[in-house]
Chain A
Amino acid sequence: EVQLVESGGGLVQPGGSLRLSCAASGFTFSTSAMSWVRQAPGKGLEWVSGISSSGDYSYYADSVKGRFTISRDNSKDTLYLQMNSLRADDTAVYYCAKSTGWPYYFDYWGQGTLVTVSS
């Protein structure tokens, strides 16, 4: 069974940093592309970032480019999202999603972790 478990969310002040993790199991992580998708409270889904299976290629939404960095450790079956210079509009539930096909669609999702940016 595919499982994606996010962690690392919490309350952070504007301008601060946070690192999210996503532990994967139940599939071959090292051959799967991965993405982060977020959902602000009461709002729709927004793709944030994606990374190739090897980690050689990464992609970002314009809204986070230059502030967020996606990475992965295939030896630990773990995906990361380093978030810097956080703003109030980054407040959202962040989902880790296994990405399939090209261009991607998202065939499995984690339960999400809440990031709140507030003073």
Chain B
Amino acid sequence: QSVLTQPPSVSGAPGQRVTISCTGSSSNIGAGFDVHWYQQLPGTAPKLLIHGNSNRPSGVPDRFSGSKSGTSVSLAITGLQADDEADYYCQSFDSSLSYVFGTGTKVTVL
């Protein structure tokens, strides 16, 4: 039931930079609603990573950054580390009065 599309997987070597895109439509991201990002480590609950498109909660390393330009949204991880291996989800609000998540992206550190 996801209406935000993400690539199924991305990978990179330690120290590299990876980006994850999140594509929505005119009823959610294109309507101007904020995008938020969550990290889900294996076997654990999701954790808020980025809120309001580009804001990091306290305790989240500045290696994680979010951006939104028009309908283009992405999460970047720089200086990739082994413990960044996780699933990442974007989330926004839809004009149908529903909260929507992305399809999820598995990040693999090579």
**A contact set with B: CB distance below 8 Å:** 35, 37, 44-47, 50, 59, 61-63, 95, 100-101, 103-112
Decide: B102 and A61 in contact? CB cutoff 8 A.
Answer: no
B70 at the interface (CB under 8 A from A): no
Decide: B48 and A106 in contact? CB cutoff 8 A.
Answer: yes
Cβ of B1: which chain A residues have Cβ within 8 Å of it?
46, 61, 63
Chosen A-B contacts, 11 in total, with CB atoms closer than 8 Å, are A44-B2, A44-B101, A59-B97, A59-B98, A101-B51, A103-B33, A103-B34, A104-B99, A105-B36, A108-B48, A111-B45
Decide: B98 and A47 in contact? CB cutoff 8 A.
Answer: yes
Extra contacts, 8 of them, besides A47-B99, A50-B99 (Cβ < 8 A), are A37-B101, A44-B104, A45-B104, A47-B98, A47-B100, A103-B93, A109-B46, A111-B45
Quick one: given A44-B2, A61-B98, A107-B51, are A95 and B104 in contact (CB under 8 Å)? no
**How distant is the Cα of A106 from the Cα of B38 in the complex, in angstroms?**
9
**B contact set with A: CB distance below 8 Å:** 1-2, 33-34, 36, 38, 44-48, 51-52, 57, 89, 91, 93, 97-104
A-B contact count (CB 8 A): 63
The CB with the most chain B CB atoms within 10 A, among A62, A103, A111, is that of A103
Closest-by-CB residue of A relative to B36 is A105
Cβ of B57: which chain A residues have Cβ within 8 Å of it?
107
